[in-house]
Chains A and B, each alone.
Chain A
Amino acid sequence: MLQADIDETILTAFLDLGGSEMRQALLAQVHSDLTRCGAALAELSECGDMGGLCRAAHEIKGIAATIGATTLSDLAGQSEAACAHGDAALFARLQPELSEHTRITAETLSSLMQV
């Protein structure tokens, strides 16, 4: 098990699509996307932009599912649903955990880039 809750089989299949250059490029891109989405979550929740938060959570959900980060994907899915239904209170409860898992997953990928 990696530092973040990532299904290694799915992640390996994802990273083994091409050679080492492709692997590094994919890792870098996913890391960059998750970092951007994490920053967007913080920024948008301050101004209460539920539409923007919904899109950010949706994007995290898609990336996380693709790399096998199932806990993050589930959390992002719940957060997206909360935003879509305008349930700001539920999103506020979910957001700290979502942000933390996003950060940890990004860090885990960053550590893999250096291997």
Chain B
Amino acid sequence: MPLAAAALGDGLLLVEDTPSLQMLYATVLRKAGYKPMLASSGAEALQKFAEHGPRVVLLDLMLPDADGLMVMREMLELRPEARIVVITANGSVNNAIEATREGAFDFLVKPLGDIRMIGAVASAFADLQQDVSLAGDDASRNDALERAFMGRSDAMRDVHSRIAAVAASTAPVFILGESGTGKELCARAVHLKSARAAQRFVTLNCSAADPEQLEIELFGHAGQKSGRGKSAAPTRAGAIARADGGTLFLQNIQDMSLDLQSGFLRFLQNASFSPVGDTRLIKVDVRLICTASGDPTEHLRAGRLREELYYRLFVIPIAMPPLRARGGDIVLLARHYLAQIAADEGKRFRKLAPDVEDLFLRLPWQGNVRELINVLRHAVVLHDGETVTLDMLPPGLVQSAPQPRDPALPDTGDAFAGLTMAQIEERAITAAIARHGGSVPRAARELDIAPSTIYRKRESWDKS
């Protein structure tokens, strides 16, 4: 059983009127572990959709009693969160493109390849699973967001107000921050607070594919014919088409090849694109949010990011603070995740011992919230009890925390004892950059020096 489908139940509806094709597709799906409901007409499909609420629908666009596009529209009106993969015959690709513009998750062209069909269904279920925690009505969306973004620190208050301010705009947002700081949650928050909340939020990680594959993932593929009418490259809707009307979230933009960056820039300039293998321009309305690993200005200087693209994308930055800069939020988050993990694992843990909370406030948390969750999961899985104590934490964690300063003693700057001025300077600059989510310009402002000074110093550290 595919994991995503198992987790979500078997909410799959297959709508195909030709009995032999229905039998074939159902066989392929069952072999992959799905248990599809079957419908042979538009009316039957709508009835089963309303009664059983399938989450994913494989829908043939040509039905004996109805236009498949109309059926899809009715389904999405009933439940906009449903993922609909449309099936079209070779030569009717325009209908499929139209369907994706109107909200279809993906489209398949007959004759269907087993792998492509299962891949599309699995992607649809995976996409749903991603959205499931943040789906629902406004109240539950806000609730999910609050849980994801809990925190009373000044740093998080800034993030909250920034999100509220940018949500109404359609300008591109660039989210900065170390790994594990919640950049994707931030992107989802911007989407869910915007007027596009009911539309699709599509994520694409630019480092997860080679350049050719990424181009297809981004722009889609119009399909290619080889001899004997067989499809050499299947038709595929890209992330841009799927995000039409909604939000496209691009992760690790610096890993997009420079050639593809040029093509992407043209899309940003014209708000239209052509799928790979096609010359037609398709106009779309997409709100763009992106992230880069590390400091984007450094990628710019290193030539990994085109200057024009950088300035098009870096319109509204939001910096996600590292966990160590969030003060009391650390304890708040730790308590929240402890309750969640204990429930997941069927354990009794309810609280953290005071010295554990104190330790958590001193740890550097290089892996941010992700590391915090791992530490708590380690304690919960390997131990039992109501309170997490120091001895339950992963080995070495306690030793990695700086010792607390005795408040009775004056601050003599002992933290710098034994360090040279250059080393102290390096520490101060590195800490400032971390506080600002990797942004050198912001760190420079805080330290009251020019960004170029930081870049020069970094170069000298790299050489030494």
User: Which residues in A have some Cβ–Cβ distance to B below 8 Å?
Assistant: 7, 10, 14, 17-18, 22, 25-26, 29-30, 32-33, 55, 58-59, 61-63, 65-66, 70, 73-74, 77, 80-81
Check if B27 is an interface residue, CB within 8 A of chain A.
Answer: yes
Whole-angstrom distance between the Cβ of A87 and the nearest chain B Cβ: 16
Select one of B31, B91, B112 contacting A17, CB under 8 A: B31
Q: Closest A-chain residue to B18, C-beta based?
A: A59
Which of chain A's residues have a CB closer than 8 A to the CB of B21?
62-63, 66
Closest 10 CB pairs of A and B: A29-B20, A65-B111, A30-B20, A66-B111, A33-B20, A70-B228, A70-B229, A62-B110, A17-B27, A29-B23
* Interface residue SS majority, chain A: helix
A61–B230 Cα distance when bound, in Å, is 13
The answer to whether B19 touches A33 (Cβ under 8 A) is yes
Q: Closest A-chain residue to B16, C-beta based?
A: A62
The answer to whether A65 touches B23 (Cβ under 8 A) is no
Select one of A22, A32, A63, A73 contacting B27, CB under 8 A: A22
- Interface size class, chain B: 20 to 34
The answer to whether B28 touches A62 (Cβ under 8 A) is no
A2–B255 Cα distance when bound, in Å, is 50
A-B contact pairs, 10 of them (CB 8 A): A26-B20, A26-B23, A33-B20, A58-B62, A61-B90, A62-B89, A62-B111, A63-B18, A63-B20, A66-B21
User: A65-B90, A77-B90 are known contacts; what are 15 more A-B pairs with Cβ within 8 Å?
Assistant: A7-B228, A10-B111, A17-B27, A17-B28, A26-B20, A29-B20, A29-B23, A62-B111, A63-B18, A65-B89, A65-B110, A65-B229, A66-B110, A70-B228, A77-B91
With most chain A CB atoms within 10 A of its CB, the pick from B20, B27, B28, B62 is: B20
Whole-angstrom distance between the Cβ of B464 and the nearest chain A Cβ: 61
Check if B64 is an interface residue, CB within 8 A of chain A.
Answer: yes
Whole-angstrom distance between the Cβ of B96 and the nearest chain A Cβ: 14
Q: Closest B-chain residue to A33, C-beta based?
A: B20
The answer to whether B229 touches A17 (Cβ under 8 A) is no
Q: Closest A-chain residue to B112, C-beta based?
A: A66
Which of chain A's residues have a CB closer than 8 A to the CB of B28?
17
A81–B112 Cα distance when bound, in Å, is 21
Given the known inter-chain contacts A32-B19, A33-B18, A66-B111, please indicate yes or no for A61 contacting B89, CB distance below 8 A.
Answer: yes
Check if B6 is an interface residue, CB within 8 A of chain A.
Answer: no
Which of chain B's residues have a CB closer than 8 A to the CB of A32?
19-20
